[in-house]
Amino acid sequence: MEFRDAVIKRRMVRNFSDRPIEPEKIDRIIELTRHAPSAGFTQGQSFVVVTQLELKKAIAKTCEEEEYVKSGFDPFISKAPVLLIPCANEAAYHRRYQEKDKVNEDGTEIVWPVPYWFMDIGCAVMIALLAAVDEGLGAAFAGSKDLDALRKLLNIPAEVTPVGVIGIGYRAQDVPSPSLKRGRKPDAEYLHREKW
Ligand SMILES: Cc1cc2nc3c(=O)[nH]c(=O)nc-3n(C[C@H](O)[C@H](O)[C@H](O)COP(=O)(O)O)c2cc1C
């Protein structure tokens, strides 16, 4: 698939068919996410892949899936054949930026202009979402409301932050998000040439 087509075709898909995903598709998606950039090549990103139904149901609870269902969506988290949990590790960045080539001359750590750990996992998530399209699949990112519960369910270390949940599967008819009614904001508000 052309890159442009994958980008344009991608949307958050909030319903999946029961058709299982070929495991090699997930392997290829994850493999591509490893090409995401990271500050100082810290590689603070990681993913947990979940396929067990009971685990998926428990994860869906941390996303308050029942609220989605109440408002007319399908149970797109528990029903997804595969869940990917993208994780960021802030502590890994602090450790990396204490290394000789990154630490300030006076031994102090840089002042972080923005939390690069979240920037980096965002880059990896975007690759995963596009790679899913390239594999003929749909995917949706949803936030979890209880990161500690998610950590506990998946044995995620305390210093690692699961930033949410990505459901992946073959697309089924879904309910579009009401947020889409907002429409795309005008180009003039988005793009500022030379100066804002
Ligand atoms: C950081 C982030 C958090 C999001 N959280 C949720 C969420 O909790 N639940 C949900 O259904 N969609 C969530 N979305 C999806 C957005 O609603 C969606 O990307 C947006 O409406 C545009 O639709 P599209 O991605 O299909 O083009 C999230 C997207 C991002 C980037």
Please state the domain extents for the chain. Answer: 3-172
Give Cβ neighbours of residue 185 (< 8 Å, ≥ 6 apart).
none
Verdict on whether the full-model pTM lies above 0.95: yes
Give Cβ neighbours of residue 51 (< 8 Å, ≥ 6 apart).
81, 82, 83
* Pocket residue to mutate for ligand 1, from 177, 180, 181, 182, most atoms within 8 A of Cβ: 177
Summarize pLDDT for 69-94 with one digit per residue, the tens.
Answer: 999 999 999 999 999 999 999 999 99
CB-ligand 1 contact for 170 (6 Å cutoff): no
Summarize pLDDT for 10-45 with one digit per residue, the tens.
Answer: 999 999 999 999 999 999 999 999 999 999 999 999
* Domain at 3-172, CATH from 3.40.109.10, 3.90.79.10, 1.20.1730.10, 3.40.50.2000: 3.40.109.10
Q: What angle do CA 27, 28, 33 make, to 5 degrees?
A: 100
CB-ligand 1 contact for 115 (6 Å cutoff): no
pLDDT at 63: 98
Share of the chain above pLDDT 90, in %: 100
Give Cβ neighbours of residue 124 (< 8 Å, ≥ 6 apart).
33, 36, 45, 47, 86
* Pocket residue to mutate for ligand 1, from 8, 9, 10, 12, most atoms within 8 A of Cβ: 12
